[in-house]
Structure 1
Amino acid sequence: MLRFVILLAYLSWLSVFAMAQTVASQAYTPVVARCPTGFNLVRMAGIPGNQTLSSSEASYIQNRKTDVLPKAWKKYLSNVLSTNPSLPGYVSSILSGASSEVPTLGIATSGGGYRAAIFGAGVLNALDARNSSSDAAGTGGLLQAATYLSGLSGGSWFITSLAQANFPTIQELIFGPAIPTVSNNSWGGWNADYDLATPSMDPAIDGEYYTDLADELRGKYDAGFVVTFADYWTRSLARHFANGTFSSNFYDESYTHGAGILWSAVANTTSFASHSIPFPIVVTNLQAPGQNSSETIAGDFIPLTNPIFEFNVFETGSFDPQLSAFAPTKYLGTTNNSICVTNYDQSAFIAGSSSELFNEANFTNTFNSSYGPILTLMASLMPEPKVEYDVASWPNPFYGVAPDTFIDSAQTNLNMVDGGEDGEIIPLQPLLVKARGIDVIFAIDATNDINGFADGSSLIATQNRTLLYPSAYSFPPVPTSMGEYTAQNLTTRPTFFGCNTTSLNESTPLLIYLANGGPPYDGEASVTNTSTAQTSYTSSEIQAMLNQTFVIATQGYPESGATKDPEWPSCLACAVVDRARERAGVARRGICSTCMDRYCWNGNTLTTAAPIA
């Protein structure tokens, strides 16, 4: 409470003295100019079953498949074979490139605040060929072999930081480089020991910090764009998940602290330009006036029928059939073909939009809430009397598009909120788009359903939503109640969904599901089920979580009495190639046959040993 009293004192000071625009404010301000010749804001993606990708995305994917993935798959195969040389020949044929069929892999990492960011990072660390321990475990290289990588909310913090920082190792991503170069464009780590809300133990320092964040929004406001609490949240996130902030300059306003680091500019990083990273996608939900509340899952805030939006490096929009349209990410903020806006697609604003859950607090008209002093500060500096403060506001590039089906066709601004507010906390939807041709998805679930652990509810929500749009998406059968996940231990072990051979397999991905569902089988007490509300972590806490996540990601589902399944690397590889195997017309055999029997959910029970109590 004391820090808020001090902040109110700052408000009085601000009412007398005008603050000069900071370098961060200048870098955060959208830029308005005439559009390029021949510019077209909206690309219609087509009807379900016949949708198209942008030419830029299609080119990136093709170049990655041609120039990068063959070597990546061979590296992964080598790591698997080092743990078990008796893989069926078809697995080696597919992964070595000898077969005409190859897998198209997508990885999805869920929301759940810092816990999800750390858990998702820990799983990808176990799949990273740059980690010698992962290579020795037989799982390293799968990250490099993935074609797509999606994230939302806490997962978006991880994905955006990874992509804009030029794809460093996971250890460097989280903890920063060993010898940092402090500049506006260099990476400094997650700075997780600084709390996202109150970074200092000193109320006076925090009060000044709050005013700094608010003042960094002045340029955007003065340029005529809507500013909400999501922008304030963005400037906090930027100090953790965008280039330019280090412990040594955390409070130094002579630095831009991630302002001006754009999501579309990821295309200019050397890792992206060389097609070396999986194509990154961030997911958010649309909060729309008149939305159909009858399609809202109990306890959630966004109906399943609302369009799901994705931000990829090249385009932003939705493949959902009610819109099926995209606008260039570089030109977000633009609403016509004549006057173009750039610099709106701040990387941290993408992450901030994907994790904007403040509408759940319902504080738009409750300035007496715990957020009251900050909201009062913003209202004093940048009054927005007719604006919802608890959403991320984006000028609507799809104004007038699909007026009969798109719920926000007549809205001047799109209100974006946390990507998991419809219950789909694993960002699977972009990976189900048929035009992307993804046939296997590695789904990382670090949601907070029960005591900081996942209970499978996100998969149920995705299944329910895909049933609403059967012409657009196909999803493998999953259990329909959370109790089934608990009873069958589906969240405490890796589980494969969609293994059974059906006529739908051609368009239905196989799902490799790995949840933060409980402690590992090695007997260690769990450290990965922290609260979503925990907004700061010490380095030792993070390292302990990374270490335990590595165990969870590499141990598989051991037989009773064991702590590790020695066949897990082979079983994982069998699942990765299974759709490609099916297309090649080859029958499962050898260890793959037994692996799929053990790890696949068969629609009723699992044919495998019971887990260790």
Structure 2
Amino acid sequence: MHFPHILVATTTLAVAVSSSYAPVPATCPSTALVRASTTSLSDDEEAYRVVRKIGADSYLRTWLLETLGFFSAIEGDLPTIGLTSSGGGFRAMLIGAGVIQALDDRDSNSSVNGLYQALSYHSALSGGSWLLSSIASNDWPKISSLVETWKPALANGLFAPGGSDNATLYDSINEDLGNKTAAGFQTVAVDAWSRLLSWQLLPGANGGVNNALSDIPSKPRFLLRIVPYPIITAQAVDLNGTVCVPPADAAHWEFTPYEFGSWDPAVGAFTPSKYLGSSLSSGKPVNSSSCFTKYDNLGYVLGTSSALFNDPGLGTDQVYDATFANFCTIPNATATTTDTDTTALNAGVARMLTIPNVRVQSVADLYAPWPNPFYNLASASQVSAAKTLSMVDGGESGQINPIFPMLLPARKVDVIIVNDNTDGNNNFPSGQEIVNTYNAAKDAGMTRMPYVPPFETFRAQNLTSHPVFFGCHNDTVATIVWVPNAPFTSIGGNTSTNKMQYSEAETAAMVANGAAVMSQNNSVDWAKCLACAFIDKISATNLPSVCTGCFTQYCFNP
């Protein structure tokens, strides 16, 4: 099989003659466009999972033998491992990149290198989705290579990735949006946001406009099943209600290379990612010419996962004040922030909203509109009446770590490495987000979620000062290896979520901090304890003596 060179994201302003940001009319397939399920994987994902597990086990076995030495438990079944990348803007993206670099045996000599090759799943939302999308679209390169493609645009800043010729770039974005409008689809703030992010993160001409979520299965490393299966999450808001943000029990929506949908019992339906944007009713095309492809533009997916324009603290205060003030309840609507990063973000959003083809005429325009593939589908009761899904940031319900996808029993994930880059404590994690996830999982009856103590316990026991294992010695739940961001380098890693511009030196320092977070400053003892957490899921006997101390140090015991 031919392996092309790694594609490089570019900030040059060579604009394609015709933009593929516009969805493309397509003949509707003869196969079903809706799959109903609350428990089972698609045939494509299941096939990927089975083959990926074989390769992942081989790498994990090698890593365990090198880390702990040989013992009989390693010869049996091995745990399935997943990684989650949290939200938190570019902070989350850069720290998360360092985490992956530390785990990747192609790119690191750290104490934990080789574990990236042992992952079966990787889920992400918001800033974490920026990282995952950039990795997947570039065919899973080494982080050290990928970061070099990010640096110039990050140094210019999100709202000026073109540098001195930024006006030309904005003209090209306006043209992209105009083409989508001409194809019959509305373009809103999230479209412009998505295109700006794409210029920084995705490979190819015209700011990576040709990348689609459903193109990922054609990537060479994906074809070989040697990379973790990617999952990006978002949430939806019912604009017929009185609240503009998802409630704590909101459904979690998944964008994957093969399909889009939600496991929530009130939805329980999926559609092929390739045909997102098609007009369906009761699970079938409205007519033979109602199907589209390329609506699943990867930039629009990662932009949807980080869409926060329904929050008046992100540059849309004037929109609410002028037009929508009485529509619904806006949390913290009167809050004002004057720090430098937020001021710059608000100014950038205000500039973005002046793009002529950005429509801001109603509350709905502050969300990412996705034609609802489950319209009139009786079994998807939560959304069957909506022609359009109004989607927002995957963490808006308070769960900023995308753990839910890993709890589906069919995915058989035994250990979840949760890279938490949220900002509840001086821009470091406070523990509140994973508490939110535990409470929501408990309310939803998700039995694979391990016990997580109340937030007060995090403070009383200073649990944020080090990684924590939740779910030790319990094979009925997954083990969560919670790895919170922490200050290991001079930059500290706790930049603001609203910081949209990083110098090249800052970018390098943030990634280095993330690598140190995952390796705990290249600690061999930490690597041994991490190995103990893996083996604990499959064997209560034959554990090395070092594991006793590890469990005392890292396991949370209620």
TM range (shorter): 0.7 to 0.9
In 2, distance between residues paired with 1:423 and 1:151? 15
Deviation at 1:474, TM superposition (A): 3.0
Q: Is 1:310 the equivalent of 2:254?
A: yes
Q: Is 1:334 the equivalent of 2:296?
A: no
Residue from 184, 190, 203 that aligns with 1:230? 190
In 2, distance between residues paired with 1:155 and 1:239? 17
Task: Describe the SS at the equivalent of 1:567.
Answer: helix
Deviation at 1:549, TM superposition (A): 2.5
Moved more, 189-198 or 273-282: 189-198
1:167-222 Cα offsets, whole Å, 9 max, x none, are 0001111113xxxxxxxxxxx777321211234675xx444433332221111101
Deviation at 1:76, TM superposition (A): 1.9
Cα gap change, 1:488/1:525 in structure 2, threshold over 3 Å: closer, same or farther?
farther
Q: What pairs up with 1:271-282 in 2 under 5 angstroms?
A: 271-282=221-232
Which residue is equivalent to 2:333? none
Task: Describe the SS at the equivalent of 1:491.
Answer: helix
Q: Is the 8 A contact 2:234 2:305 kept in 1?
A: yes
Task: Describe the SS at the equivalent of 2:173.
Answer: helix
Q: Is 1:350 the equivalent of 2:350?
A: no
In 1, distance between residues paired with 2:543 and 2:265? 36
Which residue is equivalent to 1:145? 118
Q: What pairs up with 1:362-377 in 2 under 5 angstroms?
A: 362=316, 364=319, 370=347, 371-372=349-350, 374-377=352-355
In 2, distance between residues paired with 1:346 and 1:201? 24
What is the aligned residue count? 511
Q: What pairs up with 1:573-588 in 2 under 5 angstroms?
A: 573-581=531-539, 586=541, 588=543
**Aligned-residue RMSD, C-alpha:** 2.5
Q: Please report the TM-score for the alignment, with normalisation by the length of structure 2.
A: 0.86
1:66-114 Cα offsets, whole Å, 9 max, x none, are 3x22431233235424xxx4x6x24xx42xxx21x11111100101010
Matched AA of 2:538: A
Task: Describe the SS at the equivalent of 1:351.
Answer: helix
Deviation at 1:307, TM superposition (A): 1.1
Cα gap change, 1:190/1:114 in structure 2, threshold over 3 Å: closer, same or farther?
farther
Which residue is equivalent to 2:399? 424
Task: Describe the SS at the equivalent of 1:71.
Answer: helix
In 1, distance between residues paired with 2:539 and 2:152? 40
1:104-130 Cα offsets, whole Å, 9 max, x none, are 111001010100001111111111111
Matched AA of 1:449: G
Deviation at 1:269, TM superposition (A): 0.6
Q: Is 1:509 the equivalent of 2:509?
A: no
Which residue is equivalent to 1:567? 525
Deviation at 1:257, TM superposition (A): 1.8
Q: Is the 8 A contact 2:221 2:227 kept in 1?
A: yes
Cα gap change, 1:332/1:144 in structure 2, threshold over 3 Å: closer, same or farther?
same
Which residue is equivalent to 2:6? none
Which residue is equivalent to 1:606? none
Q: Is the 8 A contact 1:153 1:419 kept in 2?
A: yes
Deviation at 1:526, TM superposition (A): 4.8
Deviation at 1:543, TM superposition (A): 1.5
Q: What pairs up with 1:154-303 in 2 under 5 angstroms?
A: 154-176=127-149, 191-199=153-161, 205-244=165-204, 255-290=205-240, 301-303=245-247
In 2, distance between residues paired with 1:515 and 1:198? 31
1:141-163 Cα offsets, whole Å, 9 max, x none, are 11110100011000000001101
Deviation at 1:477, TM superposition (A): 1.0
Deviation at 1:492, TM superposition (A): 2.0
Task: Describe the SS at the equivalent of 1:358.
Answer: coil
Q: Please report the TM-score for the alignment, with normalisation by the length of structure 1.
A: 0.78
Matched AA of 1:455: S
1:296-316 Cα offsets, whole Å, 9 max, x none, are xxxx93212221101011011
Cα gap change, 1:344/1:367 in structure 2, threshold over 3 Å: closer, same or farther?
farther
Q: What pairs up with 1:366-445 in 2 under 5 angstroms?
A: 370=347, 371-372=349-350, 374-378=352-356, 381=357, 385=361, 388-402=364-378, 406-445=381-420
In 2, distance between residues paired with 1:25 and 1:537? 32
Deviation at 1:552, TM superposition (A): 2.4
In 2, distance between residues paired with 1:536 and 1:383? 26
Which residue is equivalent to 2:7? none
Residue from 487, 502, 505 that aligns with 1:519? 487
Moved more, 271-280 or 383-392: 383-392
Which residue is equivalent to 1:9? none
Task: Describe the SS at the equivalent of 2:405.
Answer: helix
> Which structure would you say has the larger Rg?
1
Q: Is the 8 A contact 1:129 1:144 kept in 2?
A: yes
Moved more, 206-215 or 141-150: 206-215
Q: Is the 8 A contact 1:27 1:256 kept in 2?
A: no
Matched AA of 1:485: F
Deviation at 1:289, TM superposition (A): 2.3
Matched AA of 1:574: C
Deviation at 1:577, TM superposition (A): 2.4
Q: Is the 8 A contact 2:96 2:511 kept in 1?
A: no
Matched AA of 1:35: C
Q: Is the 8 A contact 2:107 2:144 kept in 1?
A: no
RCO greater where, 1 or 2, for CA within 8 Å and sep 6 or more?
Answer: 2
Cα gap change, 1:189/1:282 in structure 2, threshold over 3 Å: closer, same or farther?
farther
Q: Is 1:475 the equivalent of 2:452?
A: no
Q: What pairs up with 1:65-84 in 2 under 5 angstroms?
A: 65-66=53-54, 68-81=55-68
In 1, distance between residues paired with 2:301 and 2:398? 20
User: Structure 1: any 5+ residue segments left out of the alignment?
Assistant: 1-21, 177-187, 245-254, 294-299, 557-563, 604-613
In 2, distance between residues paired with 1:492 and 1:391? 36
Which residue is equivalent to 2:34? 42
How many percent of aligned residue pairs carry the same amino acid?
Answer: 34
Cα gap change, 1:385/1:536 in structure 2, threshold over 3 Å: closer, same or farther?
closer
Q: Is 1:323 the equivalent of 2:323?
A: no
User: Structure 2: any 5+ residue segments left out of the alignment?
Assistant: 1-14, 324-345
